[in-house]
Structure 1
Amino acid sequence: MNLTMEDVLRALDPDEVDYAAASQLGPDALPFLMTLVQGQDPGLAAKAAYLAAVVEGELSERVVTAAAASGDVRVRVAAAHAASMLAAEPASRVLGTLLLDSDAGVQKLALKSVSAGLSPDLMVKVQEVSVNGSSQGLRDYAVQAMERLQ
């Protein structure tokens, strides 16, 4: 069976996507997901970014990275959450950019996605947020993230 954009859109159409079922589309869905992440519909782009991480294919990091660079905060929030499902190195790269995002909500979710086993270089950015975060809440999340990294 050849996968089509219509198949991917059908899987992402529900308000509450069944990501476990949608992941059965497999890595062949990743080019379609990249197209959606780079598209004009932020709701669909956010769902596509999350599904890209669930699918776990060779292009997953590229799709989540594209979402992390989106001009729409909703898509960057999805990228921060999706990064937690990537392997350690790709997750570290994606979270490294999102930890210093201009939006506090994106930063908060990126900090919540930080876990043990990620790059030690990530610690520098987490420490930066722990000192220079725009709110006490962000600084507190950064301290918690540093504890998980150690």
Structure 2
Amino acid sequence: MAMSMQEVRSRLSVIESDTQMYADLGPDEVPVLVELLDDEEAWLASRAVYALIRIGTPEALAAVERAGASTRDEVRVAVAVSASLLPPEVSDRVLTPLLQDHEVGVRKFAIGSVTTGNKESVQRLVSEMTDAEDAVLRARSRTRVRDLGR
């Protein structure tokens, strides 16, 4: 039986987050988690992203893809941070726009989620940032390029 909104909110509201807090969340909770992506509390929306990735059903992953295009920076950052946990084809689709996001902070976190399992075109986007004006963006992209063996 699916948990109610209140039960899911309570579960995700634990101060010290750990994997156990997500353990009982499954496909039945996807609609509630999708609703939480628009919650006014950014930290709760971020935890909903991670829960959806852990659930991993096509519906959950589609919601994560949509969250990657959210108007809220903090939701896009949550997707960027967690993108390495996605199946490679989903990660490629999510990371491509996040690595080109208008918000530098989103790009900084997206860089860290690029792996050797991502398509060449995604890895190339990281390489293109090695000369970025932003010093942190430039440093992170250079480190990631080195880690990727490029």
Counterpart of 2:58 in 1: which secondary structure?
A: coil
Query: Quick check: 1:98–1:107 contact (8 Å CA) kept in 2?
Result: yes
CA-CA distance at 1:37 after TM superposition: 0.7
CA RMSD in angstroms comes to 2.0
Q: Which runs of 5+ in 1 are unaligned?
A: none
Map 1:113-128; keep pairs closer than 5 Å: 113-128=113-128
Give me the whole-angstrom Cα distance separating, in 2, the residues matched to 1:148 and 1:30. Answer: 34
TM-score by length of 1: 0.85
Counterpart of 1:24 in 2: which secondary structure?
A: coil
Give me the whole-angstrom Cα distance separating, in 2, the residues matched to 1:29 and 1:82. Answer: 19
Paired residues, what number?
149
TM-score by length of 2: 0.85
1:79 counterpart residue number: 79
Kindly provide the CA deviation profile for residues 40-90 of structure 1, in whole angstroms up to 9, marking residues without a partner as x. 332221111121112222223222223222222222211111212111111
Give me the whole-angstrom Cα distance separating, in 2, the residues matched to 1:134 and 1:94. Answer: 24
Map 1:1-150; keep pairs closer than 5 Å: 1-131=1-131, 133-150=132-149
Query: Quick check: 2:126–2:145 contact (8 Å CA) kept in 1?
Result: yes
Counterpart of 1:130 in 2: which secondary structure?
A: coil
Give me the whole-angstrom Cα distance separating, in 2, the residues matched to 1:121 and 1:63. Answer: 23
Letter in 2 for 1:136: A
Kindly provide the CA deviation profile for residues 95-149 of structure 1, in whole angstroms up to 9, marking residues without a partner as x. 1111112222211111111111111220232122223x23132122222323344
Give me the whole-angstrom Cα distance separating, in 2, the residues matched to 1:8 and 1:140. Answer: 38
Letter in 2 for 1:15: I
The structure where helix makes up a greater share of residues is 1
Query: Quick check: 1:88–1:118 contact (8 Å CA) kept in 2?
Result: yes
Give me the whole-angstrom Cα distance separating, in 1, the residues matched to 2:31 and 2:133. Answer: 36
Over the matched positions of the two proteins, sequence identity in percent amounts to 32
Letter in 1 for 2:120: P
User: CA 1:72 to 1:10, structure 2 compared with 1: closer, same or farther past 3 Å?
Assistant: same
Range moving further from structure 2, 135-144 or 114-123: 135-144
Give me the whole-angstrom Cα distance separating, in 1, the residues matched to 2:41 and 2:102. Answer: 21
Give me the whole-angstrom Cα distance separating, in 2, the residues matched to 1:53 and 1:106. Answer: 18
